[in-house]
Structure 1
Amino acid sequence: MSRAEREAQILEVAERVFANDGYQATSMDDIAAQVGLSKPMLYEYFGSKEGLLIACLRRSKRELLEATSLAAAQAESSEQLLYDCLLAFFRFGDEHQQAWALLRNESSIADTSVNTELEAIRIQQRDFTADVLRKVREELDDEQAEAYAELIIGASERLALWRENRPEVTAERATEHMIALFAPGLGF
């Protein structure tokens, strides 16, 4: 197995263990045993448990941006652009439940570098969303686009959390709720 393949395997297992057991309760021994590696080898790859968690978060960050960027690239109208990007966000949570669990359980992790990485994910999505909003409404200035993007990101996160207790609410339905809320203010 190549180093890249081994790292991907480790990240898959670590993400699952962190999501299921929580960061604090997870040990490198747990992850090493499930991957079939020695604990020193995990440290060789990631340096620490924190380093492993940060690698998981960075992978999620990259995959979320890829999913929303692909949705944006395929949209055929301004209205469809916002809808498709929101839908991609909710589908990402559905399709990457372990990654979503890591992102939503951030308050249980008291480490500055981990929280910095979590905030970097939000900033990435805020900047992406602000760019989408500028395409939808070209007259928005930078402050308005960022403020609206923050509102959309915050509302999307809360709606995703709400959906965890409402499994009957599909990603499509959640997206429809978001559009109903924000479309009037965006002029469509």
Structure 2
Amino acid sequence: MPRAQRERQMIDVAVALFAERGYVAASMDEIAERVGVSKPMLYEYFHSKEGLLIAAIRRARADLLARTENAASSALSAEEALWQGLLAFFQFIDERHAEWSLLRHELSLVGASAADEVEAIRRQQTEFNASLIRAYLPGVSDLEVEAVAEFLVGACERMAIWAERQEEVTPERATGLTMDILWNGLGNKQGGHS
């Protein structure tokens, strides 16, 4: 099996096991057994259990950025870009529930490196949001762009946590609720109002 494919397989199994048992309770022995490789091979690829977790977080970060960028790239307006980006985020959380659950529940139990990687996801999405705001709402000051971009990331994270507890809230419904709250404020910026 090619190295990249084997690495993806190892990460997939690790994420599933971390979500199932919790990061601390999951063992490299069990991950290796489920993948069908030796434990030394896991260490050769990732160096440690935390290294495996960090690889999973980095993969999720890259996938999330690709998905949100792709979703917003065809938008013709600020409102459409926001809608498409939000929907892509909430769909990502819904489809990658094991990773989302792991990040939400286990980070307090792991090292600073993993927590730094999760913060890198937040920074990445903040920068992405800021670039969209600047592109679609050129009259908004840099300070406002930064504030709105940070707000979007925090609000979406909390909305995803809330939606997780509500069986009837689909990614589309979460997007609609978020748009109802956010667009009233951002929509006013389109006309240059403060």
Deviation at 1:106, TM superposition (A): 4.6
Q: Distance in 2 between matches of 1:125 and 1:99?
A: 17
Q: Distance in 2 between matches of 1:42 and 1:104?
A: 24
Q: Distance in 2 between matches of 1:114 and 1:69?
A: 24
Q: Distance in 2 between matches of 1:110 and 1:2?
A: 30
Whether contact under 8 Å (1:106, 1:118) holds in the other structure is no
Unaligned runs of 5+ in 2: 189-194
Deviation at 1:184, TM superposition (A): 1.5
Aligned to 2:70: 70
The letter for the 2-side match of 1:161 is: I
Aligned to 1:46: 46
Deviations 1:79-129 (A, max 9, x none): 100000000000001111112112222543341111111100100001101
Aligned to 1:173: 173
The letter for the 2-side match of 1:36 is: G
SS of residue matched to 2:12: helix
SS of residue matched to 1:138: coil
The letter for the 1-side match of 2:12 is: E
* Identity level (%): 51
Aligned to 1:187: 187
Q: Distance in 2 between matches of 1:125 and 1:170?
A: 21
Whether contact under 8 Å (1:72, 1:84) holds in the other structure is yes
Aligned to 2:191: none
Is 1:81 paired with 2:84?
A: no
Aligned to 1:152: 152
Aligned to 1:30: 30
Q: TM-score, normalised by structure 1?
A: 0.95
Count of equivalent residues = 188
SS of residue matched to 1:187: helix
Q: Pairwise CA RMSD of aligned residues?
A: 1.2
Q: Distance in 1 between matches of 2:136 and 2:80?
A: 9
Aligned to 1:3: 3
Deviations 1:120-144 (A, max 9, x none): 0100001101111222321122221
Whether contact under 8 Å (2:126, 2:150) holds in the other structure is yes
Unaligned runs of 5+ in 1: none
